[in-house]
Amino acid sequence: MKNSKLLFLVATFTTVAILQGCTPKTAGMDSAYLNKNRGAAGAQISASEAEQYSRQQGLSADEIRLENMKRHQTTDAIQEGSSATRSAVGAIQSVKGLLGL
């Protein structure tokens, strides 16, 4: 009977030790910090801060759209240039063929 109780205690402590080793050490501290500050006045932002944040997000989105548009225009210009070059080479080869060169 004593051996089974001792074995049970050892198994329990071993299981707890293993499970504690699998969790991040800061998980409890992070949760406590978030819960502590969740209702604090500093955790709330003012309407003007929210408006400024929204404005900044809009400007960032506009910048990304502009950069994408520039990239597409550059790609289109390169493709048009290479197409014109291929057409010119084809025309020259046609003239050479007609002249027998």
Query: Quick one: DSSP state of residue 44?
Result: S
**Inside any domain, residue 7:** no
* pLDDT 10s digits, 58-95: 999 999 999 999 999 999 999 898 888 888 888 888 88
Q: Which of 21, 37, 40 is nearest to 29 (CA)?
A: 37
Residue 68 lies in a domain: yes
User: Whole-model pTM?
Assistant: 0.42
SS3 39: coil
Asked, for residue 70, whether it belongs to a domain, the answer is yes
Residue 25 lies in a domain: no
Secondary element (H or E) of residue 23 = none
Judge whether 67 lies within some domain.
yes
Domain contains 85: yes
Helix (H), strand (E) counts: the chain? 3, 0
Q: Residue 14: inside a domain, yes or no? A: no
- Give the range of the structural domain holding residue 82, as residue numbers without chain letter: 56-95
Is residue 71 situated within a structural domain?
yes
Q: What is the tally of structural domains in the chain?
A: 1
